[in-house]
Amino acid sequence: MKAAVVDHWGQAPTYTDVPEPEPRDGAQVVAVEASALTNLTRALVSGKHYASKEIQLPAIPGVDGVARLADGRRVYTGALAPDGMMAERTLIDPSGGIEIPDTLDSVTAAALPNPGISAWTALAAAGAVKTGDHVLVLGATGVTGATAVQLAKSVFGAGRVVVAGRDADRLQWLRTVGADDVITLGTEDLAGRVEALHAEQPFDAVLDYLWGNPAAQALAALAASHPSAHYHATRFVQIGSMAGPTLELDAGVLRGNGITLCGVGIGSVSPEAVTRARTEGLTRMFAMVAAGELQLRTEARPLADVEQVWTAREPSGTRVVLTP
């Protein structure tokens, strides 16, 4: 069968022939219908991700995807190691999949779980967002950030959502799906805007998909506008590092304010919280997308194009999905 195969850390996979997977210990060989090309998928086979140590090369990438079972049902699932989802067929645990509504196409269903589960976990567990909360999303124009903005309002009942990003068109679109105010990075003063907004109505949660200098500016601004004499708990949730993996931060920012830092990623969230996001959350999000209540832009590409799309820059706010 055909599959994408990574032979060396950090290199793009090749589209090539591999042996068929063999059933074992109750696992089932299934036909893959779609698998999303995510930052996590790329990072795991880069050799630089903290979870790369669990992967042995050569490897078939593809963290998760949509498969069709022998009885015809479609499920969202992950492949059993060492297999991946970027292949014509893979090996799965048939009891671990989440059934996909007939009204939802496989490409969209494959694209949703990565940003959806991440956003749901950040909002529900790490951010503990509740009705009426004031939320700031740094890096909101990406796929996961935009998903978080929509869920913050429509599911978690946030009272006010402020978004920051560089893509002006995407920022204006976000106003139509849940954002109340926007900050255009590169043309507006991020620190000044965050400081003023936090003084006006303190942020209860910050979802950060950028890290680096934007996060440092935002953290300093939160501290400057709401000193310890006026305590307010702000949960700063670190999710992505598109602006850089490190930052410089004055220690007083954390000692003098009610800011707490935490992260959302593999191993940083309780298994119970992940299970809730993957079952209750994803089931609800599948229904929302099918009903047009949650917007997600996708681009389907054949698996044979994997070498080309692996290193290509994705259109802003669009998730590329590979189909065998």
All domains in the chain, ordered by first residue: 2-112+296-323 (3.90.180.10), 115-263 (3.40.50.720)
189 vs 208: CA distance, rounded Å: 17
Cβ contacts of 156-159, under 8 Å, gap ≥ 24: 156/123, 156/124, 156/129, 156/130, 156/131, 157/130, 157/131, 157/132, 157/133, 158/129, 158/131, 158/132, 158/133, 158/134, 159/131, 159/132, 159/133, 159/134
- Confidence (pLDDT) at 85: 96
pLDDT band at 65; cut points 50, 70, 90 = very high
Q: DSSP code of 277?
A: I
- Confidence (pLDDT) at 269: 84
285 vs 111: CA distance, rounded Å: 12
Q: Is-contact 258 150, C-beta < 8 A?
A: no
Mean pLDDT, residues 92-106: 92
Q: Across all residues in the chain, what is the average pLDDT?
A: 93
Mean pLDDT, residues 123-148: 97
Token pair, residue 253, equals 């920012």
| Whole-number percent of the chain with pLDDT over 90 | 78
- Confidence (pLDDT) at 283: 93
Q: Is the pTM of this model over 0.85?
A: yes
Mean pLDDT is lowest, of 1-5, 178-182, 256-260, 286-290, for: 256-260
Q: Which positions ≥6 away from 190 have C-beta within 8 Å?
A: 164, 183, 214, 217, 218, 221
- Confidence (pLDDT) at 226: 67
- Confidence (pLDDT) at 257: 85
Preceding omega of 101 cis (within 30 degrees of 0): no
More confident residue, 231 or 299: 299
Type of residue at 214: P
Mean pLDDT, residues 236-248: 94
pLDDT in tens, 3-33: 999 999 999 999 999 999 988 888 999 999 9
Mean pLDDT, residues 85-104: 93
* Residue whose token pair is 């790490």: 126
pLDDT band at 220; cut points 50, 70, 90 = very high
Phi, psi of 273 (to 5 degrees): -65, -40
- Confidence (pLDDT) at 83: 83
pLDDT band at 225; cut points 50, 70, 90 = confident
Residue among 132, 185, 182, 123 at smallest CA distance from 150? 123
- Confidence (pLDDT) at 304: 97
Q: What radius of gyration do the chain's Cα atoms show?
A: 20
pLDDT band at 53; cut points 50, 70, 90 = confident
What does DSSP say about strands 89-92 and 14-17: parallel, antiparallel, or unpaired? unpaired
- Confidence (pLDDT) at 227: 59
- Confidence (pLDDT) at 229: 54
pLDDT band at 267; cut points 50, 70, 90 = confident
Tell whether the model's pLDDT for residue 228 goes beyond 60.
Answer: no
More confident residue, 176 or 274: 176
- Confidence (pLDDT) at 45: 92
pLDDT band at 261; cut points 50, 70, 90 = very high
